[in-house]
Structure 1
Amino acid sequence: MRNLALTILACLMAAGCSRQKASQQAQPEPSQEPVYALVAYDGIGIRKQPSDDKKLKGNVFTSVDRGEKVAALGDTTGWTRVRLSDDKEGWIKSDMIRTGVEKMAVMTEAVQVFLRPDISSRGAVVDTPYAMPGTIVWIYKEKDGFYECEFLRNKKGWVKAGVLSEDQADLEAARLLEQARKCVKREQPALASGYYQQIVDKYPMTRVAQLVPLESDVEPKNQGE
């Protein structure tokens, strides 16, 4: 009789454990917060497969531009799977996005760039030609009145917060200013003037508009100079 009771008790305990285990398995795992990133450049292709093999026809199905926010879902060698704002998913080259970035901003004046958020640290100035007025930078974090920024070519440093503008109009004007400067560098003054004129016409009240040079500054060079 005692053996029968023990057997029944063991069966009941086993059944209870099975139900508890099944209940635990049925419960969904807690969802993880997605890791968000910003696209670092304009016109970056989003691919169906993590490959830039040109033989894969139709692999690139859309593109994204600098500043767009994407959710990073996972990565493989050199590629990151992302979800776009329209919920479409695809692959992007990992070095085309920036994680940990809070926002974009425009440098509105020429400033010193420091290695640390401390203006008294002599000899700590980063030597970079990219810290010029009108440059678009990535902001990673703020500390003691400084912003940690990333400039072109992955150059990082700290600048005083007051020299940056996060205004959307300034950002749009700065994009045009970048194009104008490229044209000047290529000795295409007519195209440069067109971009400068767009800044003045579309964003006349921005701080970037104040950086537009005089028309004589973009005149073609004379022969023999």
Structure 2
Amino acid sequence: MSVFNKINDILLNSNKPSIELEKLFKEDEFIKSDFRIIGDLKNVPQDKKFHPEGNVWNHTKMVVDLAARIKEYSENSKNFMWSSIFHDIGKVKTTRFIKGRYRSYNHDIEGEKITYKILKNYMNEEEAVNISEIVRFHMHHIYILKDLPFADIEKLIKSSNYNDIILLFICDKLGRGSKGIEEKIDTINEVEFILEKIERYEANINIEISKRLQKINDIVIK
């Protein structure tokens, strides 16, 4: 089985993908593959204030494991799970220590490019484009929440990946350090607030995702 197929199988069928992925990363076949860049995330530090869990791979493992728990609510579980493991891949090239902090400016933009460049060789064009787009939008929960100029809400709401982008917001936010119940509740409330802001652009766009959010809430608030 190829490295791609091994990762794909883990992402789609494991209840906690991080365990099997750690084992795979030690195999020579993985180390020589295009996917070795995922392993490079272990060498990318993050600001402890926002990421007490440590390096980018530690964060990614938490995101992937949570994504596995809620993937049944995604529109396309394969695309959703691949976007969860690639969402911060751009940090490999963009992370710098600036003014006393590790920063990764434009890692979402760079991540889209890297994701597409790799996955187009293993998936059909539509899948590679869709996964890359989810990666590109994964920072929008911050951009929208803080009214930053980087947000492109009009393009977001037109995306066929809208539902899965919102789900990745949740995973990305919760995949940090050790979150208590109150923090998890705050995260869900934060996503609901973001959805309200999006509805200023298009009313009723969140009817279905809001229903799913209630069920996801029962999964993550444990």
Shorter-chain TM-score range: under 0.3
The structure richer in strand per residue is 1
Q: Which has the larger radius of gyration?
A: 1
Give the TM-score, by structure 1 length.
Answer: 0.27
* Structure with more contact order per residue of length (Cα contacts < 8 Å, sep ≥ 6): 2
The structure richer in helix per residue is 2
Give the TM-score, by structure 2 length.
Answer: 0.28
